[in-house]
Structure 1
Amino acid sequence: MRISIKIKFSIFLAALLLLTVFILSLLVLEGIKKNQQVEVEQYFAQQATTANVYFIQTIMAESNKVPQTFLASKGKEFAGQLELISGQSVVLYDQDGTIVNKDRSIITSDSIKKTLAFALNNKTAYLTDKDSLYYMTPLRTGNEQVGVVQFNYSLSKNLAFYNQIKQLFIYIGTGVFLLSFILAYFYFNSFASGIIRLNETVDRIREGHFATDTLARKDEIGELSEGIRVMSEQIMKTMRDKDQEREKLTLAVHKLSRLDKQQKEFIGNVTHEFKTPLTSIKAYIDLLEMYPDDEKLMETAKINIQSETRRLYEMVEKVLQLAALEKYDFEFSKEKVDVQQAIQLVLSSLKGKLDKFGIRLETDLTEAYVEADKDCMTIVLVNLMDNAIKYNKARGHIFVKNDLKDGQVIIEIADTGIGIPGEVVHKIFEPFYTVDRNRSRENGGAGLGLSLAKKYAETQGGSIALVSTDRAGTVFRISFPAYEPTKTRK
């Protein structure tokens, strides 16, 4: 999800101001807290010195100058005088940690006990508990500790002052934050608005709308806006020139491509279709030269040569008609075609070629009819059968069968030929593509057989597919819609 630059600016500005106010407040409040702590420590350090001096002076004035005995007998009075001098509540302990001047039940806190144990070890310690501070300092005569003096100090005034300053920072910080944010927002908003307008301009250019405005700014954003405007105008001019040239070039290429395609298709189709009957005629002539005394072969050859000659003559007539009409596609005449008979006629015309290469033919034909142009049907079958012979192995095998299934007449032609490599299977129906170029030249192939077969099959509503191919051979499947008398009468 895209976030607007205005929102990003606002969030960043708010975060920056909040961080600044927070850090400033934190530093000031922490300074106040440390200052209060230092003042309290200095104050009680002076009170501890005063207590020790007063203790020594009091003992020196007494006839009994033993500190332990003095604390036991007059410790309560000494603590009272010390409270008057310091102005603080005082608790006096002897060296055993026993309270001298107050009820012993006041020591209820484990924290106070731990702090007292620390102070009895001739060290100064203090404990802060909520709004009270307990300051404990050793009571000494010379270098000998005789007890502990505890000053009880209320921190309520310090806490009240700290909280007052804290509250003041909250109010002032909030006001400064809001004022700074508003002023900075309007300042940065002008930059954000300029960037957003530039982005909208770029989006319009991306969509093909090249008319742009210039921002009235005298900074880098204004210069960028002017640069985008100039660039947009140059792109618009370049695209107009490019479109004009492309239209001219497209028109020229289209004309040349159409002429070239028509010429190639015309020449390729004619050449390929002329070659097939000529090949059959040549095969029978070769057989007659090999077996001149075979009367049965002579009769078969005569019939098939006449048939192929007639077919060749008809094709020449069509070519001449197409040339005269400047037309490159055959006009189709659909009729009811007996598939079984059409297959047998094609196989009969190719028998000489089959015998020449010693290829064994097997068929499994059933009665079926399709509605198609008979010549187109013959072209499809001849091309596939011719390939099955051409690319078969010596003394190989061809199996042809047909079937009727789901309203489709299925014809399968399987051979035991050299197969088609897997990496070129997708190219076999392309015009002029041959799998084995050396063998194609040997047999006169131009790579148009499968392309023409596919084209003619599809013009009749059918299809051709490669079912399988490997070293054991190849299987092609032809499918045509079955003949439907009721539909035809309509």
Structure 2
Amino acid sequence: MSGQKAVSGAAKARKRRRPYISLRWRFLAALAALLVLTIAVLSTLVLRDIERNQRQRVESILKQRSELANLRISQTYLGDPQVDAQTFLRRSGPQLAADVSNLLSGTHVVIYNADGIEVGNSQPLSRTGNVADTLAIANQGKTVYQEADSQLIYMSPLVWTIGQVGVVQFEYSLAGDQQFYHTIALSIRTIGLIALAASFLLGLIYVQRVVHAIRKLQQATEQIRSGEYIVEPPVKRSDELGDLSEGITYMSLAIKQSMDRQKQFIGSISHEFKTPLTSIIAYTDLLDMYRDDPELLEEARCNMRREADRLLEMVEKVLRLSALEQYEFNQNAEPVELASLLAECCSRMSGKATKFELSLTTKLAEVTVMADRESLVHLFLNLLDNAIKYNVQGGEIVVSSTAEGGYAVISVRDTGIGIPEEAMDKLFQPFYTVSKDRARSTGGTGLGLSLVKQLAELQQGKIAVKSAIGAGSEFTVTLPLAPEAPKRLQRGNKSETKAT
């Protein structure tokens, strides 16, 4: 109870430290951020690509115009070779600018000589702004341009066979390209906002469904915590949430079965403890009433001792069953010679077999298994004890061992009362006995075979049983051989011991 309070207090403290933010809003915030980032990146890339294509197209157009202008001016000069290039440009510049402008569909053309002096202008009344720096670079034989508002001023050197003789300047309007760019940018933003809104709406619907499923899973866990176990998956989906839902359902059923077994175990052990205690109390009451009855005294002594022994046996087996919950095979396993171990167990039980007028025979092969020796002792002592308790007077018990295909096979066979077929499924359940009257008369607790099964499984083995009413029972335990055991020739040394 105090542990639950501590956990609850820690949970409340965490809630106080951190503000509660619904998973829905976290998902939506992350989705919105992702969508905005995606649209921003795509818009930037698209607009940058449009701008680059526009620039390349303009440069290509102006380069072609520059080549045409260079060709037209040089051809005109070759038709009048009597003067030098600079005189030719100074005298024919205005006409050349007009001719080139007409050739280029009215483009504003300005021609400069080698000294950077304007010698021709297709639009004499139109003046260009400050282009001195740009012109100085062009006079060095480089193509250069500068932007001024919506105008692009492009300058290219006039290069003839005699070298650079001047510079030709074109003006190109960027208004159309800029308008196209702004229209595309506006369209992208509009489409982006619409896509953002649509994606956000679809994301909201999807997240709502996911959050609804998570809330169902949360409610299911709350039900399990309050003791209301679920038998059907709260969420049926073909994804991770569906897998989680099935896992929670499986966990719920496993917890329910465990709790039911625990309740049954407590009920059974309470009943089994109550029976011998009731008998002991009854005899103490009788002894108080008839203190001088020697026969009653002897009977009470024997019965009270038997019931006390039965109580002690139950306590020991319950403690061993509890200890098996923390058992670790790898920390206890060791090579164990079965022949000597089984011989020792049979020797320890021979007195009890003699008491019930039973013969105990062994047919043991020299085999070695990898197991916990102490656990094997308890396992086989319980099987032998069971064979003695449920045998008939003058009956027989045969213990044998052999090696078969990498496994040791140990058999404990008796000639007792046998086990009904309908009892086979319950035989290894705690406190289950085939015959309750026989169990009480022989001191059986119903815990032995349950303990045997758990011990066998913890040794990486298994147990099986064959039985028929009136024909006795045979319990077969299979254990893995030790790693070196299959390499040796396994030969059986048979010994027989009879107790009558």
Question: For the pair shown, which has the larger CA radius of gyration, 1 or 2?
Answer: 1
* TM-score where L is the length of structure 1: 0.45
- Larger RCO (CA within 8 A; separation ≥ 6): 2
Give the TM-score of the pair, scaled to structure 2: 0.44
